[in-house]
Structure 1
Amino acid sequence: MPDAPDRPVLLAVDGNSLLHRSYHAFLGSGTRTAAGAATWAIRGFFSQLGLLVDRVAADGLVVGFDDAGNNRRKVTHPEYKATRGEKDPDLVAQLRLAVRVLRDAGAHVVVPEGLEADDVVAAAARDAAAAGWDTVIATSDRDAFALVDGTTRLLRLISGGVDASPVLTRDRMRLLTGVWPEQYRELAALRGDTSDNLAGVRGIGPKTGARLLSELGTVRAALADPERTRVLLGARVAEVFTSAESQEVFARNVELMTPEPVTTGLDLAAGPGRLPLDEHAVRAALERVELGAVCRPAVRALCGLGFAPPPVPSFASAPAPRRPVVVAAAAPARETEWTLF
């Protein structure tokens, strides 16, 4: 995406994704309140959120969460995510707590009825573009690859935390997947998604799917050109690909992977979603869950506070001579561009 220093940036966070990763990454800390409530995932969440705001120089923030009590996709397709086990009670409790703490802090949080965080970040990117903003989506979910465009980048959360996570643009997406972002949903639908319990089209893996879409553009175009499809896939795979059963699987996957419309409630001109947040509100929200002391960097980032210079010592008399201190060489400046892998 070309540099646009005059365009503000909205950070759209998949709250479930970030909190799940924080739950496992900070599990060893075992942080709890004095009353015994688990808070290590909240601690990790705010730590990573502060790093995200800093990394993308965010001017706005929206955090989306799944509706834990209802899921329209599961109602219409019971097999969707059916293989996922029950969440640990401490994780469930911290997912609920995260929403409350963020709202108490003044952050704009959206929990859409019957829908998921994926739907929120997609809608937020749409609303931001309409308001003349750019968007950086932060998530570990590959479905968000399809949302990358001229005004939307994707910070793919991976092991190693925010600093190790790549920022994907349209060109980088092509390098990573072999297709353009606008083709990615069809690639994912052909490949399937084991994490969501969605089988793909038999015989079509990521490489074969990418080759088909790269050459012919869309699945519809491939079906309209059976001879070219047979050349690309081979006669046996082409026969499976064009079957009614395979196309039914493909259509189901596309339906489930397509974001549903969400009203985000963002008002980037004057209200909900703008940064910085009120310092008093953020500190008070974190203090209520006894995390004020360990989340100071997050408070600084979310509230737009600068680093306070260290106090200058004063002496009643001249200080005693000190041994010379060997100063280590300064660390190299951080790169302004991030690698893909």
Structure 2
Amino acid sequence: MLSQEIMNKNKLFLLDAYALIYRSYYAFIRNPRINSKGQNTSAVFGFVNTLEEVLRKEDPSHIAVAFDPPGPTFRHLEFEAYKAQREATPEDIKWSVPIIKEIVKAYNIPVLEVEGYEADDVIGTIAKRADKNRFNVYMMTPDKDYGQLTEPHIFIYKPRYGSNDFDLLDDRRIMEKYGLSHPTQMIDLLGLMGDSSDNIPGCPGVGEKTAVTLLQKFGSIDKLLEQTDQLKGALKKKVEENSEQILFSRMLATIKTDVPIAVEEDSLTRGKKDEEAIRK
């Protein structure tokens, strides 16, 4: 349960649908849930269990589920290889997504989806737009790039692998965990070290440890690129030769917070679920 000191405001939960769907599907990969028609319902089963757990344990006053749209996003248009190395979406997940959307709607929970933008961007926009005097915002996702969005009232609600427990990460904990001076440095961290899950290239030969060291010394990618004369040897060569790729990686890693979506916080008020529709 959340600590008493942060329970005096409305609780807005924003769920990253595909991140949780993939997590649910692969959690049962060795023992998939198969229904009487021979269909693999692992993703549906796991997602609904996760949703029920959140509703029961945290009792959010406001909630929404964000989905990636079909078709390319602005990142794919900018960088054709974005997420290209991922394996094709399993057919069982493709089959599950429309069902999960209908289930979410039966729970009277808004489904959010904006053409050209990922769920991260939609969640980032709503999280930053929410009135901090009225809401604590919980972004439910296992993805670390959300760390850039954290504030004292904006948290990552991160499911633990193989468990129903979670980690709650605000700006302070993100800074401690990654050795940053500000949460937005997560963007520069990913810009330097890259992110293999999203095919963000970063700077070749620069891992997390080196990226953190560089940010602690220079503060930002911009300052680093202005002062490469302070670097030595192979690292100096790598950074200078890949400066454009580093800047481009930073752009890819930046979660948008100005997505054109007309959603008011009160429209995300948790409603009563339609038990009959869910049973169907």
Which residue is equivalent to 1:303? Answer: none
Which of 263, 267, 277 is residue 266 of structure 1 equivalent to?
A: 263
Residue 35 (structure 1) shift: 5.1
Deviations 1:133-159 (A, max 9, x none): 111111112211111112211122331
Which residue is equivalent to 1:161? Answer: 163
Change (3 A) 1:204 1:181: same
Change (3 A) 1:2 1:287: closer
Aligned residue pairs, count: 275
Deviations 1:91-128 (A, max 9, x none): 10101221122123311111111221111211121122
TM-score by structure 2 length? 0.88
**Residue 234 of structure 2 is aligned to residue 236 of structure 1:** yes
Which residue is equivalent to 2:272? Answer: 278
Which residue is equivalent to 1:256? Answer: 252
Change (3 A) 1:222 1:65: same
Change (3 A) 1:249 1:264: same
8 Å contact from structure 1 (residues 202, 240) kept in 2: yes
8 Å contact from structure 2 (residues 11, 61) kept in 1: yes
Deviations 1:31-75 (A, max 9, x none): 43x555543321211111122234444211111011123333223
What CA distance in whole angstroms lies between the structure 1 residues aligned with 2:108 and 2:192?
A: 41
Residue 20 (structure 1) shift: 1.0
Change (3 A) 1:235 1:29: closer
Task: State the AA in 2 paired with 1:250.
Answer: I
Task: Summarize the alignment of residues 132-281 of structure 1 with structure 2, pairs less than 5 Å apart.
Answer: 132-163=134-165, 165-179=166-180, 180-227=182-229, 229-230=230-231, 234-241=232-239, 243=240, 245-260=241-256, 261-269=258-266, 272-275=267-270, 277-279=271-273, 281=274
TM-score by structure 1 length? 0.74
Q: Secondary structure at the match of 2:137?
A: strand
Q: Secondary structure at the match of 2:242?
A: helix
Which structure 1 segments of 5+ residues have no match?
A: 289-341
Q: Secondary structure at the match of 1:13?
A: strand
Task: State the AA in 2 paired with 1:64.
Answer: A
8 Å contact from structure 2 (residues 12, 62) kept in 1: yes
Residue 209 (structure 1) shift: 1.0
Deviations 1:13-43 (A, max 9, x none): 10001111111224525243x5555433212
Task: State the AA in 2 paired with 1:248.
Answer: E
What CA distance in whole angstroms lies between the structure 2 residues aligned with 1:219 and 1:158?
A: 31
What CA distance in whole angstroms lies between the structure 1 residues aligned with 2:207 and 2:42?
A: 38
Which structure 2 segments of 5+ residues have no match?
A: none
Deviations 1:289-314 (A, max 9, x none): xxxxxxxxxxxxxxxxxxxxxxxxxx
What CA distance in whole angstroms lies between the structure 1 residues aligned with 2:136 and 2:151?
A: 10
CA RMSD of aligned residues (A): 2.3
Which residue is equivalent to 1:113? Answer: 115
Task: Summarize the alignment of residues 66-77 of structure 1 with structure 2, pairs less than 5 Å apart.
Answer: 66-77=68-79
Q: Secondary structure at the match of 2:268?
A: coil
Q: Secondary structure at the match of 1:3?
A: helix
Residue 216 (structure 1) shift: 2.3
What CA distance in whole angstroms lies between the structure 1 residues aligned with 2:21 and 2:248?
A: 29
Which residue is equivalent to 2:47? Answer: 45
Task: State the AA in 2 paired with 1:150.
Answer: P
Q: Secondary structure at the match of 2:139?
A: strand
What CA distance in whole angstroms lies between the structure 2 residues aligned with 1:57 and 1:257?
A: 32
Which residue is equivalent to 2:87? Answer: 85
What CA distance in whole angstroms lies between the structure 2 residues aligned with 1:226 and 1:39?
A: 52
Task: State the AA in 2 paired with 1:246.
Answer: N
8 Å contact from structure 2 (residues 41, 96) kept in 1: yes
Task: Summarize the alignment of residues 8-87 of structure 1 with structure 2, pairs less than 5 Å apart.
Answer: 8-27=10-29, 28-32=31-35, 37-87=39-89
8 Å contact from structure 1 (residues 122, 147) kept in 2: yes
Task: State the AA in 2 paired with 1:225.
Answer: Q
Deviates more, 1:187-196 or 1:201-210: 201-210
What CA distance in whole angstroms lies between the structure 2 residues aligned with 1:175 and 1:156?
A: 16
8 Å contact from structure 1 (residues 60, 273) kept in 2: yes
Q: Secondary structure at the match of 2:63?
A: strand
Which residue is equivalent to 2:103? Answer: 101
Task: State the AA in 1 paired with 2:63.
Answer: L
Deviates more, 1:47-56 or 1:206-215: 47-56
Q: Which has the larger radius of gyration?
A: 1
Change (3 A) 1:144 1:220: same
